Structure 1
Amino acid sequence: MGYRLSKIYTRTGDAGETGLADGRRVTKDHPRIEAMGEVDTLNSQLGLLLAELAEQEALWPGLSEILEVLLPCQHRLFDLGGELAMPEYQALQAPEIARLEQAIDAWNEEVGPLKNFILPGGSRLLAQAHVCRSFARSAERRCQHLNAVEPLRGECLAYLNRLSDLLFVAARLIAKRQQIGEVLWQAARPET
């Protein structure tokens, strides 16, 4: 890849516009830039989750499988960012979506059916998995918004959808493997 940054600031964005890899200039609140920003935020949050999984892995060996499945996701999110920055570039492929689906199916079988709504929490690691899940949903919404203006490839949208599902099941699996009770939602009780 020939794109390397030799200078971090260029001053070309000071007036509220930024450049895409194809040479177009767009406003910094353009749906494409918003989508790129949400994918970047998700990737940063996922980096934090991966770091915490790596720290906990020595104490809880069952976390290594989760780490192995999630590690490539950071790279695929960077690929997705590339597709958003360079509309002609195509990096995400259907086998990656199938890989996520296989992990979801295997992990979901291990944790069993969901009987109650669960809340983010129980441990810092569990909560961070849910933070990543919610950022994946936000990135998906931004990409859907962009898709309404400038169509995206289906693989991009499907990947974010599956990733958020994977992160939800990963949070449940972390709880099970660390033997932490999930925080169950308790409905408000009407006053009598």
Structure 2
Amino acid sequence: MVKLNRIYTRTGDQGTTGLVDGSRVSKADARMVAIGDVDEANSAIGVAIASLTNDDLRSALTRVQNDLFDLGADLATPGDDFTPGEMTLRIVPAQVERLEREIDAMNAEIPPLTSFVLPGGAAASLHLARAIVRRAERSAVAIGDAANPQALAYLNRLSDFLFVACRAVNLLAGGDVLWVAGENR
């Protein structure tokens, strides 16, 4: 259980932060950049949830937010043993598979794409979250073998999930905003 009595500790005043194993790294370390990008993605998903009326999608995104906290803890745990334990949070295949099932269920209700879509419409905040998730994925890839392969798969699948969620939200609001190649030449 987490219990925080004090929010500031002053331990990071010199530009370092602690990892799960007690070691300290620069706040500019690639691992910390990835953790920060995951946190930003989680926040963007929270903004998107606030504008949604679909309870099923809101619930799915709340599950995603919890997974992203697990993923942040996963990234903050150094080592090359990605086995979850009682005191070690790791992203596991079941979390990735759940996203895949949810993608398939949403996608079954949406007409096939006939054009690329522009990030807008009623799902604009979800599109922004999707773009931030893609950055978080790139940042996690940048830490190389220090990243749990399941965490990388989760981020990859999450951007797909968010894209399909955008299409589902926009479908209910009149449809996707479509790209028209060369329209403004």
* Same fold? TM cut 0.5: yes
Counterpart in 1 of 2:78?
Answer: 87
Residue-by-residue CA offset, 1:146-176 (whole Å, 9 max, x unaligned): 1x2x422211011011110000000000011
Counterpart in 2 of 1:175?
Answer: 170
Counterpart in 1 of 2:96?
Answer: 97
Q: Find the partner of 2:156 among 145, 154, 161.
A: 161
Contact kept, 8 Å, 2:121 with 2:177, in 1: the verdict is yes
SS in 2 for 1:118: coil
Residue-by-residue CA offset, 1:113-138 (whole Å, 9 max, x unaligned): 11101111123xx1011011101101
Q: Find the partner of 1:142 among 139, 143, 158.
A: 139
Is the aligned partner of 1:76 residue 2:67?
yes
Identity of matched residues, %? 45
One-letter code of the match for 1:170?
Answer: A
SS in 2 for 1:184: coil
What is the distance in 2 between the residues matched to 1:115 and 1:18? 47
When normalised by structure 2's length, the TM-score is 0.88
What is the distance in 2 between the residues matched to 1:87 and 1:185? 42
Is the aligned partner of 1:127 residue 2:124?
yes
One-letter code of the match for 2:30?
Answer: P
Is the aligned partner of 1:117 residue 2:116?
yes
Q: CA deviation at 1:44?
A: 0.6
Report runs of 4+ in structure 1 exceeding 6 Å deviation. none
Counterpart in 1 of 2:85?
Answer: none
SS in 2 for 1:111: coil
Is the aligned partner of 1:188 residue 2:176?
no
SS in 2 for 1:113: coil
What is the distance in 1 between the residues matched to 2:183 and 2:92? 47
Can you give the 5+ residue segments of structure 1 that lack an aligned partner in the other structure? 58-62
What is the distance in 1 between the residues matched to 2:147 and 2:125? 29
The two structures, once aligned, show a CA RMSD in angstroms of 1.7
The aligned length equals 177
Counterpart in 1 of 2:83?
Answer: none
Can you give the 5+ residue segments of structure 2 that lack an aligned partner in the other structure? 80-87
Counterpart in 2 of 1:60?
Answer: none
